Amino acid sequence: MSLRLQFLIVTLLAAILAAGWWSFDSWGGNDTGAKKARRTSTTLVLVEEVSLTEDRVTLRLVGTGKAVRSAALHPAVSGEVRDITFKAEQKVRKGQALIRLDDKHQRLKVRLAEVAVAESLRQLHRIEKLAPSGHAAKSRLDTARTAVEIAQLHLEQAKAELQDRTLFAPFAGVVGMTQLDRGDRVTQETMAVTLDDRSSIIVEFSVPENHAGGIKVGDRIAVRPWSISEQVVDGKVTAVASRIEKATRSLPVQAKIPNPKNRLRPGGSFEVKLAFIGRTYPIVREVAVLWSRDGAYLWRINDGKADKVFVKMVRRDKGRILVDGPLLPGDLIVVEGVQGLRLGQGVKTAPFKGVSKKDPA
């Protein structure tokens, strides 16, 4: 190949390379020029005003029911069961006899004590007639009166022993099942029968430590029995423990609910629903919250420029987030157009026409 031809080829390649470079720079290949052009442009973003809302938390806890009054009845003395006067699930009145033990000897003691009282009284009356005429010394009169008092005390003691042979209901309620039969031998350690006052039910549950300060005696609650899932019963907190349990980090609470139809039973499980109202926080849409290595942040518009605001997440609520940070009601928060924003960048704003604030996003 001749030297002239080689020169022409090199010149042609150089011209093509120069034309390509000019074309690339003219159509945006020069990144510096493009960035300068973008910096001088104004970005359109969609914004929404910050509003405040109360932090409402609903807890669903599991509670256990117990009778408003409950007792496991034991005989006062040892003996043989002579009679059982109730059936399981029977309603009984206060003072009603439930179980009678053999009391033959105790009845005899009462009879003997009654005879002794009658005899001591007869002797006292006789001496009282003789004393005024001097036929009986005053000391005999005092002795007779003492004998009457002793005889009456023996009678009361015998009646108490006789009463101990019968097991009575200490309050009105419903008796449970008994394992005893007539002829069984029982002692004071024998559990004869249970008695429950089910006119109301006490529901026991525990509130987590972080909500312990939000519940007090008198608060209204709603519970749902697991045995009757379609029924919701309103109740009232009747007792709150004085300290947090170390093992569970929770606060024991008791509430009372009515049981007019006697459908609820002690020992049953309940779903307890509690609503707490906490502090007031700004609420924003989830799409407005961004993340960096420094934490969550939002873009706020101040005087037409983008400003980064770091916040802490409090709680999600149906497409929105309660946040804790330096935000005021009416602040404009960027909802759409957050990509590519830089601190201090000038922006144009338009209202975000999404779902109403009252509706979940």
Domains, the chain, in order of start with CATH, read: 40-53+280-351 (2.40.420.20), 60-67+200-279 (2.40.30.170), 79-101+167-191 (2.40.50.100), 103-164 (1.10.287)
pLDDT at 4 over 90: no
H or E segment at 18? helix 3-24
Q: At what angle do helices 104-130 and 138-163 cross, to 10 degrees?
A: 160
- The one-letter amino acid code at 142 reads D
Q: Other C-beta atoms within 10 Å of 314: how many?
A: 17
Residue pair 220/235 in contact by the 8 Å Cβ criterion: yes
| pLDDT top residue among 316 and 150 | 150
pLDDT in tens, 33-47: 444 444 445 788 898
Strand locations in the chain (E): 43-49, 51-73, 79-84, 91-92, 97-101, 166-168, 173-175, 185-186, 193-208, 220-225, 233-240, 250-258, 269-285, 290-292, 295-302, 305-310, 312-317, 320-324, 332-336, 347-351
CA-based nearest residue to 233, from 208, 214, 261, 253: 261
What CA–CA distance (Å, rounded) separates 139 from 125? Answer: 15
What CA–CA distance (Å, rounded) separates 38 from 61? Answer: 56
In the structure encoding, which two tokens stand for residue 2, read together? 């001749």
270 DSSP β-pair partners: 63, 225
What CA–CA distance (Å, rounded) separates 207 from 179? Answer: 38
Lowest mean pLDDT among 17-21, 109-113, 268-272: 17-21
In the structure encoding, which two tokens stand for residue 85, read together? 């006067």
52 DSSP β-pair partners: 282
Lowest mean pLDDT among 24-33, 260-269, 274-283, 298-307: 24-33
| pLDDT top residue among 338 and 97 | 97
pLDDT at 357 over 50: no
Over residues 265-270, mean pLDDT: 92
Q: Tell me what pLDDT residue 20 has.
A: 64
CA-based nearest residue to 354, from 340, 342, 336, 332: 336
Q: Tell me what pLDDT residue 88 has.
A: 92
Residue pair 241/252 in contact by the 8 Å Cβ criterion: yes
- C-alpha distances in angstroms, 343 versus 12, 287, 300, 324, 337? 48, 19, 10, 21, 14
pTM over the 0.85 mark: no
